[in-house]
C-alpha cells in the first residue's frame, strides 16, 4: 500500500526523521508510537503528502507520491488530524461533505451519489442524527466522529490517524478506535495511526512501530515491541508489563518514583 524508502526530514534545518524505511501492506493496521517529538505526526504528514521528504522516496501503490496530483492522492489517502476547526458555521453534514471534494469538479454541486456516500459515512460512524447540528457546537467526541466520517467520505484505501483519541474521554476513545478496527477487519481498510496511549495501541493494533529520536527503534507485534526494557530505553520510564485479563495483550503499569509516593 505504501512504501517509505530512506526518508529523512527536517524543519528549518532541524532534523526530525532519519533514514526511515517502512513498508505497510494492504489491509494492515499499524500504530506509530514514541515520545513527544519522536516524529510520529511528521511521518503521518509525509505519508499523506502534506509534507515532502528532504531525502528518500515515498511510493503509494507503486507510484511515487510526489508525482501524483493532490486530487489523485486525496482519492486514495484520507487523514484524521488531532484537531479540526472551521471558522464557518458549517453543519455536521456540510463538514462530512468536504470529504467528497477530491471527486467533484471545480464549482460543481454534489451529485446524488456523493450525497449517498456522505449519508453512509455518517450512519456508519453513528452521527446521522446530528447532521443538521452546527459542527462547532458539538462535543469533542462528536466532532472527532464527524472528522472520521469526512475522511471515510473520501472512500480512501489508506486511512491515516494522528492521535485520534487525544482530548477524548475513555468512552469516546474506545468508540473511535473500535470503529476504526471494524473498518480494518470488515472492509480491509489499511490504517496507520499515531498513538499516544500504549495500552490502547496494544489492545487494538496488530503491528506497532516505535520511534525514538526520529528513527525506528522497534517494529513488530505488541508483545515484541512493548517490553519493559524497550519502554525504559525509549521513554525513560520504569514500568511493569503484564497481560490484559481478557485479550492477553501487553498491559503497561507505570511504577511510580520513590519520591512521588
CATH number at residue 181: 3.40.50.300
Say yes or no: 187 and 70 in one domain: yes
The count of residues in the chain is 261
Say yes or no: 67 and 161 in one domain: yes
HEC string for 83-143:
CCCCCCCCEHHHHHHHHHHHHCCCCCCCCHHHHHHHHHHHHHHCCHHHCCCEHHHCCHHHH
- pLDDT recorded at residue 107: 58
Counting the structural domains of the chain, the total is 2
109-153 pLDDT, tens digit each: 778 888 899 999 999 998 999 999 999 989 888 898 999 999 999
177-220 pLDDT, tens digit each: 999 999 999 999 999 999 999 999 999 999 999 999 999 999 99
| SS3 (DSSP) at 38 | coil
| SS3 (DSSP) at 43 | helix
Residue 160 lies in a domain: yes
The rounded mean pLDDT for the chain is 91
Structural domain boundaries enclosing 218: 1-76+156-222
Say yes or no: 134 and 179 in one domain: no
Say yes or no: 72 and 189 in one domain: yes
Does 92 score more than 90 pLDDT?
Answer: yes
Q: Residue 166: how many CB atoms within 10 A of its CB?
A: 16
Phi, psi of 6 (to 5 degrees): 55, 50
Domain termination residue (choose one: 116, 135, 155): 155
Q: Are the C-beta atoms of residues 212 and 178 closer than 8 Å to each other?
A: no
Domain termination residue (choose one: 96, 130, 155): 155
Q: Are the C-beta atoms of residues 251 and 73 closer than 8 Å to each other?
A: no
Does 81 score more than 90 pLDDT?
Answer: no
- pLDDT recorded at residue 121: 94
Say yes or no: 68 and 171 in one domain: yes
Say yes or no: 61 and 168 in one domain: yes
Q: Residue 19: how many CB atoms within 10 A of its CB?
A: 13
Identify which of 78, 98, 74 has the alpha carbon closest to the alpha carbon of residue 88: 98
- pLDDT recorded at residue 106: 65
Say yes or no: 37 and 95 in one domain: no
Identify which of 206, 180, 148, 250 has the alpha carbon closest to the alpha carbon of residue 29: 206
Say yes or no: 3 and 70 in one domain: yes
Q: What is the DSSP letter of 164?
A: T
Say yes or no: 62 and 163 in one domain: yes
Amino acid at each position: 500500500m505504501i512504501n517509505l524508502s530512506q526518508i529523512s526530514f527536517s524543519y528549518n534545518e532541524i532534523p526530525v526523521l532519519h533514514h526511515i524505511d517502512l513498508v505497510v501492506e494492504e489491509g494492515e493496521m499499524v500504530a506509530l508510537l514514541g515520545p513527544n517529538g519522536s516524529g510520529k505526526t511528521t511521518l503521518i504528514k509525509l505519508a499523506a503528502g502534506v509534507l515532502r521528504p528532504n531525502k528518500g522516496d515515498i511510493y503509494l501503490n507503486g507510484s511515487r507520491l510526489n508525482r501524483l496530483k493532490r486530487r489523485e492522492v486525496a482519492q486514495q489517502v484520507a487523514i484524521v488530524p488531532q484537531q479540526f476547526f472551521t471558522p464557518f458555521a458549517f453543519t455536521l453534514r456540510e463538514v462530512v461533505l468536504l470529504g467528497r471534494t477530491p471527486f467533484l469538479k471545480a464549482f460543481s454541486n454534489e451529485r446524488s451519489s456523493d450525497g449517498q456516500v456522505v449519508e453512509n459515512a455518517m450512519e456508519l460512524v453513528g452521527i446521522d442524527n446530528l447532521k443538521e447540528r452546527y459542527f462547532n457546537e458539538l462535543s469533542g467526541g462528536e466532532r472527532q466522529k464527524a472528522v472520521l466520517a469526512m475522511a471515510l467520505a473520501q472512500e480512501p484505501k489508506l486511512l491515516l490517524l494522528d492521535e485520534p483519541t487525544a482530548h477524548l474521554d475513555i468512552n469516546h476513545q474506545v468508540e473511535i478506535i473500535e470503529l476504526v478496527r471494524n473498518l480494518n477487519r470488515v472492509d480491509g481498510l489499511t490504517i496507520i495511526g499515531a498513538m499516544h496511549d500504549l495500552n490502547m495501541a496494544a489492545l487494538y493494533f496488530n503491528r506497532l512501530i516505535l520511534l525514538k529520536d526520529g528513527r525506528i527503534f522497534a517494529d513488530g507485534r505488541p508483545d515484541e515491541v512493548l517490553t519493559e526494557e524497550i519502554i525504559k530505553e525509549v521513554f525513560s520510564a520504569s514500568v511493569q508489563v503484564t497481560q490484559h485479563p481478557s485479550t492477553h495483550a501487553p498491559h503497561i503499569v507505570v511504577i511510580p518514583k520513590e519520591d512521588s509516593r
